[in-house]
Amino acid sequence: MCVCHCLQEKERPHTLPGEEGLYVPTTMEEGNSTGEDYSRLRQPHHSKGSNDDSAFFEGPDIFNEPASSTNEIYQQLSSWKAREIIRKYITLHHRIGSGHFATVCRGVWQRPGGEQEVAVKELKSGAVEEDRVKFLQEAAIMSQFNHTNVVKLHGIVTIDEPLLIVMELMPNGDLKNYLDRFTANRRSPRQRRSPGSTPPPSPGSLLPITPSLPHQLLSFCRQVADGMEYLAQKRFVHRDLATRNIFLTKDFTCKIGDFGLARDLGGDDLYQSTGGKIPVKWTAPEALQYRHFTSASDAWSYGMVLFEIWSLGHRPFDACSIEKDVMELIGSNVCQPPPPGCPREMYKLMTLCWNNKASNRPSFSHICEYLNQSDSKLLKLPAELPSTLSPQATQLGASLAEGKGLYSDLQYGYEESIV
């Protein structure tokens, strides 16, 4: 059942000139702010007087960590000219996601040029101060990014309650769910839905595997690498790069998202450490053992994203359901076999990303350079297979077991280089 509620007057007037040109105020009196504050924000000090997106989000060239208190975060957002969206111009429709302290709804933003569909993250009623800080920290992180392959922040609603983060809408959902639509009908019940995962696609939404699919998958790989290269150049470490945190626009452009410092994680993919929850199957050894997160640990995770993409949605180390088994397997230097149908050059890139020594992994600039090779080279499959392999070893969507002996020289070479 869809839930719809409006955050504006019943008879909504057209947006007044300059009303989109408001900056987040520098200080807030929690619980006492009212819509009357908008008249103060229309003064020149607070208002750009422009509806042009380029008038906002003049953040630092190098990523700045969000502050640890609400007042300090408001100061950061104001100094970076983050847009304060007037509450009455946001309408919320049905819910599309929910977490521990926030929900995400599909919505509409009434702009001078017309309505724009958006995604709106709303802080839940009764959220404690710690959650409020984490919510604003996510907005402060997103306000510093501007790239085709990173989810765009449109603005924030900080006056009155509840707090809202207004982002671009991703109509095609996350990449994980999209990939599942190719292979969900071939999986066991346990594979189809693990704790904390989204429900499997309905039979009517399943997609056929066509000859053009490898080209689309390669495009996804390149787009994610481009977005991660941008974030690395900003010196931002994502820490949770996975297909569930990559989103698809209407035209299937990939956008990296989920920048919350405290994520709602659950299920058998996680390891509970003293510092919080870690997505074990995507996390580099040094991050698992010492919580040492860098761009190099993101590169390790990118290798796991490549595995997810070419396996059409299978999780890394899919046969392991216990976190201890996953950690032991990672520590044993055993290389995951390629997914069936994965081109040799793409599997080679995976093994480079999975080097146990962080300094030996490729940077995202090097990854992008690697992926600049022609489609014909990157998508080339072996002309002949060893007699021990079935033809399904080169078929996308086949059982993962079919890929075990594929590119064995790369698998053994990986293990020897680690030893």
* CA atoms lying within 13 Å on the CB side of residue 222: 17
152 assigned ligand-binding residue: no
CA-wise closest residue to 308 among 222, 221, 410, 403: 221
Which conformational region is residue 196 in: left (phi greater than 0), alpha (psi within -120 to 50 degrees), or beta? Answer: left
Alpha helices in 110-249 (DSSP H): 129-142, 175-183, 189-192, 213-233
Given 240, 258, 298, 318, the catalytic residue: 240
CA-wise closest residue to 289 among 243, 333, 328: 328
Q: Confirm whether 264 is a catalytic residue.
A: no
Do 82 and 56 form a contact (C-beta atoms < 8 A)?
yes
**Residue that has been written with the tokens 């006492």 in this structure:** 32
Contacts 24+ apart (CB under 8 A), 49-56: 49/17, 49/18, 49/21, 50/18, 50/20, 50/21, 51/20, 51/21, 51/111, 51/112, 51/113, 55/21, 55/81, 56/23, 56/81, 56/82, 56/83, 56/155
Do 411 and 337 form a contact (C-beta atoms < 8 A)?
yes
| DSSP 3-state of 106 | strand
Do 303 and 297 form a contact (C-beta atoms < 8 A)?
no
| DSSP conformation class of 107 | E
The annotation places the binding site at 121
- Catalytic residues, by residue number, are 240
The annotation places the binding site for ATP at 121
